[in-house]
Amino acid sequence: MVLTTSPVVVTGSNGFIGRALCAQLAAEGVATRALSRADYGDLATADDGLLDDALRGAGAVVHLSGRAHVMRETSANPPDAYRVANAVATERLAHAASRAGAARFVFASTVKVNGDASPRGRAFRENDPAAPADDYARSKYDAERALGQVAATGALQPVILRLPLVYGPGVKGNFRVLWDAVARGRLLPLGAIDNRRSLLGLANLVDALIAAVDAPAGTYLVADAHSVSTPGLVQAIADVQGKPANLAFVPLPILRFAGSFAGRRAAVDRLTSSLEVDASAFTAATGWQPRATLAQGLAAIISQ
């Protein structure tokens, strides 16, 4: 088994997910080599020799670093910024892992490679056609394909995990915005939304990443055991905070019109659409099961 023979290299080790993964690997006695931007700079331009030194002797690489959704965009060319940070960097790291003789390359991708919304009543599966709809998702899909091309020329085995929204201690982005809005008692016009969305608690993701190190090569979807509606998520957050869920029942056409008027139609679409994934293939391949419930994962944010 890879985990018992050689160090596991983790990129993005100072990030939200990387810190939790490195802590769990250390707790399980797994030799870990944590790499942050301070160690290698920009993966897309780092010297090959530096990358070779960083990966020398590694049994596996867990690649978490990259450019995620940017809430306040500052790049003059966002598509290229995503491409370089996600696709180019992943390809260069994969080449270095192959040169180092690593057995596995675990890549944290996104369910958005499958699309922005799943068909009502049907979860996305691994064999569904890719349909990335924004710069971020396209860059992740490009990274997946580049990783596959590198692996095809050697013994490196890629394991790609397409992840839904991840929550837990240290979470940022839109989830933190929603969390803070509930904490402040803001009235949220989300009560009429009838959708289903897959989420992934940080503890469950850490378990999945560790399982992926010894998984058969392939692309997998991973999520918590149960999906939740947007108002259901607000209620769950309110429950764990000990706050009321101030949900207003605004008809969806009005909500979408208001989103368009405010220039936030994409954000409204994400809140109102369904995005479910079927994680059964990963469970069958590895035996992984999500051990933490939504309530437990939310409670961990309180205790951070």
Query: Which are the catalytic amino acids?
Result: 136
Q: For residue 283, what are the contacts with CB-CB under 8 A and spacing of at least 6?
A: 289
Helix-helix angle 89-100:135-151, to 10 degrees:
20
**What does the DSSP 8-state code read for residue 275?**
B
Question: Phi/psi at 199 (nearest 5 deg)?
Answer: -125, 170
Give long-range contacts, CB 8 A cutoff, 24+ apart: 18-27: 18/64, 18/65, 19/170, 20/168, 20/169, 20/170, 20/202, 20/203, 20/205, 20/206, 21/62, 21/64, 21/206, 21/209, 21/210, 24/206, 24/207, 24/210, 25/210
Which tokens in the block code for residue 23?
Answer: 């802590």
SS3 for 10?
strand
User: Distance between CA 192 and CA 226 in Å, rounded?
Assistant: 20
Tally Cβ neighbours within 10 Å of residue 96. Answer: 26
User: Distance between CA 201 and CA 168 in Å, rounded?
Assistant: 6
User: Distance between CA 4 and CA 2 in Å, rounded?
Assistant: 6
Q: Which amino acid would we find at residue 199?
A: L
User: Distance between CA 93 and CA 227 in Å, rounded?
Assistant: 33
CA-CA distances (angstroms) from residue 194 to 175, 231, 233, 250, 278?
A: 19, 8, 12, 12, 19
User: Distance between CA 206 and CA 18 in Å, rounded?
Assistant: 9
